[in-house]
Amino acid sequence: MKQTIVHISLVVKDYDEAIDFYVNKLKFDLIEDLYLPEEDKRWVVVAPPGSKEMSLLLARASKPEQEDFIGYQSGGRVFLFLNTDDFWRDYERMKGLGIEFVRDPKDQPYGTVAVFKDLYGNLWDLLQLKEDHPVMSRMLARASE
């Protein structure tokens, strides 16, 4: 059996400002941006470059109670983890674009990591996992399939 998590939904205030942040600052690819007239909403999907299975669905809050969760979807914990093949390249580029890092880079047993905020305040890890980390082993094995 093979199953895959395809999208993670991220509640946003505005589609266009979210697209601008993820595409122009994080350098994600814009995969889809479709208007769904019957629901008066857009289907907006972005993904990190090179990501083949996982993407973010940018979902504009459609009710007042959803607005309360913009930037706080995980209760203030790190919510999403962006792995890179060159930590320092991406860290310096992101800092240069004004992305706020709330925890400085640190070497950990699993790799190098720093915590940043997205445009709404959700916390992300920017990390470069070590090649012998179990997640990297899975990713490398899938790439060779």
Classify the phi-psi angles of 9: left when phi > 0, otherwise alpha if psi is within -120 to 50, otherwise beta: beta
SS3 32: strand
Map out the domains of the chain as residue ranges: 1-70, 71-145
Q: Extract the tokens encoding 18.
A: 């979210």
Q: What is the mean pLDDT of the chain?
A: 93
% of the chain with per-residue pLDDT over 70: 96
Asked whether the predicted pLDDT for residue 144 surpasses 80, the reply is no
**Domain 1-70, CATH among 3.10.180.10, 3.40.190.150, 1.10.4080.10, 3.40.50.1240:** 3.10.180.10
> What residue type is assigned to position 17 of the chain?
E
> What residue type is assigned to position 37 of the chain?
P
Asked whether the predicted pLDDT for residue 97 surpasses 90, the reply is yes
Which residues share a beta bridge with 129?
111
Question: What is the C-alpha separation between 119 and 27, in angstroms, rounded?
Answer: 14
The reply to whether domains 1-70 and 71-145 share a CATH topology is yes
pTM of the model: 0.90
Give per-residue pLDDT as tens, 5-59. 999 999 999 999 999 999 999 999 999 999 999 999 999 999 999 888 899 999 9
CATH fold of 71-145:
2,3-Dihydroxybiphenyl 1,2-Dioxygenase; domain 1 (3.10.180)
72-80 average pLDDT score: 94
Antiparallel, parallel or unpaired: β 123-129 and 78-83: parallel
Give per-residue pLDDT as tens, 116-126. 999 999 999 99
44 CB burial (10 A radius; 0-12, 13-18, 19+): buried
Asked whether the predicted pLDDT for residue 142 surpasses 80, the reply is no
